Amino acid sequence: MVNAFALPGGYVYVTRGLMALADSEAELAGVLGHEIGHVTARHGAQQHGRSVLVGLGAGIAGILTGDRGVADSVSLGGGLILRGYSRDQEFEADKLGVRYMTRAGYDPDAMASFLGRLREKAKLEARILGEGSDPDEHSLMSSHPRTIDRVEEARAAILGAGPVDGLVDREGYLRRIEGMTYGDSPEQGFVRGHRFVHPHLRFEFTVPPDFTLVNGQTAVKALSPNGAVIVFDMAPPGPAASALDYVRNRWGARLALVDLTRLTIDGLEAATGVTRVTTERGPFDLRLVAILSQSGRMYRFLFGTPARDTARQTAGLQQAALSFRRLGVDEAASERPYRVRLYTARSGDTVAGLVGMMPKDPNAEALFRLLNGLPPGSEPTTGQLLKYIGY
């Protein structure tokens, strides 16, 4: 996740994902300077009525709890987008950020170069998720609506248009982040293609090949281009006497469930039930599957399909639920997180060849180019220090 934000009181947060995307110490300094600008200008204290657009997980939760206000906001392709500062506040934070990073000795042009990298990341994510809308709606730019032109305008307002001889330090920065975890940690579980594996809790499952897996803080979501969704999460141990009792009387208590059935999945007691709900997108079929773990925790699959497509999707979704299985200690220990790795380009190296160092993925080349600022069709130069994702 690429994100940075500031809270009143001076707390500034930067994610690992942002640090991996940044290509120099100066770019990171630009992000920090901008966020510090929000703090010192008291923008957080000035904000009122920030709106939260509820995405997939909360929307489905609204359907299940009977909250029509939430249910009507279902967005099958979206995430959780926090609308934040005004354009004037962003411009003021840009000017303050340029001032701070320049006084600290950094090249102020790095603020604009990072924004360019951020926008390319947003485009890549939108393409992966099949988003047809503006990629800025699904990225850090949604809450930081800045453009490269406005950052350059802020730079000119503070420093003029001339060059500034400031520190960039690309190599030193990359050496410092080498080995940093990239993507999810073992405590969060890993997305590996169409497979989700949680080495910390020792389980895995696989979704159909036309779904895209997205790992969140509280749930794993899988999205299909035709509007079908899968949400996997966990509920703490409770008083339910059985998985069937849990589905019927707790999780689906407000739903008109039919076809309530007991199941056994990987030797564990499970249960399922189905219902149809009405949304702004038309009739939507929901299937609930609960699996009772040995610790009493409930593992939960929520499958949602447009009613017109349920028959075609049923077999694949059933297989996804049945693919849930527990991992042995050695299996879990063999699952490792991805890390940022470095490579110095040699004569004759090509992007196509270097991508082979990355985990197999249809978007590996696009990610490699993004991390290293290599436009399509370009090749690395001899001696160039490159980032790649490995183990």
Contact 311, 364 (CB under 8 A): no
Q: Residue 208 domain-assigned? A: yes
Same structural domain, 27 and 154: yes
Place 80 in a pLDDT band, splitting at 50, 70 and 90: very low
Which domain covers residue 168, as residue numbers?
A: 4-46+84-177
Same domain, 345 and 318: no
* CATH number, domain containing residue 305: 3.40.1000.10
Q: Are residues 364 and 326 in the same domain?
A: no
In a domain, 60, yes or no: no
Q: Is residue 173 domain-shared with residue 279, that is, in the same domain? A: no
Asked whether residue 237 is assigned to any structural domain, the reply reads yes
Q: Tell me the one-letter amino acid at 375.
A: P
Model confidence over 370-387: pLDDT tens digits?
A: 999 999 999 999 999 999
> Is 375 inside any structural domain?
yes
Could you tell me if residue 57 is inside a domain?
no
Q: What is the pLDDT of residues 230-250, one digit of tens each?
A: 999 999 877 767 999 999 999
Q: CA–CA separation, 278 vs 272, rounded Å?
A: 20
Same domain, yes or no: 351 and 322: no
Q: What's the Cα-to-Cα distance from 175 to each of 164, 259, 300, 343, rounded to whole Å?
A: 25, 57, 42, 11
Residues 134, 247, single domain; the answer is no
Number of folded domains that form the chain: 3
In a domain, residue 63? The reply is no
pLDDT, one tens digit per residue, over 83-100 is: 467 888 888 888 999 999
pLDDT at residue 389 above 80? yes
Residue 206 falls inside a structural domain = yes
Check whether residue 109 and residue 212 sit in a common domain: no
Q: Which two tokens stand for residue 324?
A: 């849930």
Q: CATH number of the domain at 361, please.
A: 3.10.350
| 164-185: pLDDT as tens digits | 789 999 999 999 999 999 998 8
Q: What is the pTM of this model?
A: 0.76
Question: What single DSSP character describes residue 230?
Answer: E
Name the residue with tokens 């360019």.
Answer: 116
In a domain, 231, yes or no: yes
Give the Cα-Cα-Cα angle 54, 189, 250 (nearest 5 degrees). 55
My answer on whether 143 and 281 are in the same domain is no
Does residue 224 share a domain with residue 165?
A: no
Q: Tell me the average pLDDT of the chain.
A: 84
pLDDT at 126: 81
Token duo for residue 330: 């050695």
